[in-house]
Amino acid sequence: MVDLSKRMGVISSIVKLRPGLGKTAMMKYMFLLQKVYKVPLGYDFGIYTYGPYASEVMEDIDYANHQDIISIEREIYPTGHSGYHLLPSSKIEMILDKEKEFISKYENSVQKVIELFGDKLAKELELTTTIIYLYGTYIANGWECTLETISANVREIKPHFNIDTIRNEYQHLFELGLLD
């Protein structure tokens, strides 16, 4: 189990590289780092309304805010919806320095996640991570795992995505080598 300080280091690393990231996007980044890039974060993800979710990630984000490692700023969008932006705060350098060995070990993975997914909206990350989550679950259980099977099941869980969008994202992830 990875200790809290190391998880704070990873969260801080992401916020420093990608300031303004939202809470939901951070959740998806942590899932991708743990599931795809095998960063040992120790989160227990389950499928939820907006894709893979671990309450511990939200607790860690709130803790980082409480410790003044990051700040959480609320934003209200023109649609009336609101969201949160994660930004570096006064103690971010302290945690980055404290956990530099752990962070540097996984630095390439963090950078790869930001490079591949940094321009995606939370809704797009929801689809991406749901496909990866289901794919991993099917593989772990020895179930038939094809483009059509996964796409149909993602569609069942996420009916607001059309089947072609799901198939295209599955294919994209497969071509990137993210479905193992």
> pLDDT tens digits, residue range 41-95?
999 999 988 899 999 999 999 999 999 999 999 988 788 888 899 999 999 999 9
Q: Could you say which of 61, 85, 116 is where a domain stops?
A: 116
* 68 lies in the same domain as 22: yes
Distances (CA, A) of 146 to 22, 63, 142: 32, 40, 12
Residue 180's nearest CA partner among 118, 138, 151 is: 138
**What is the total count of domains within the chain?**
2
* 90 lies in the same domain as 33: yes
Q: What is the pLDDT of residues 122-179, one digit of tens each?
A: 899 999 999 999 999 999 999 999 999 999 999 999 999 999 999 999 999 999 999 9
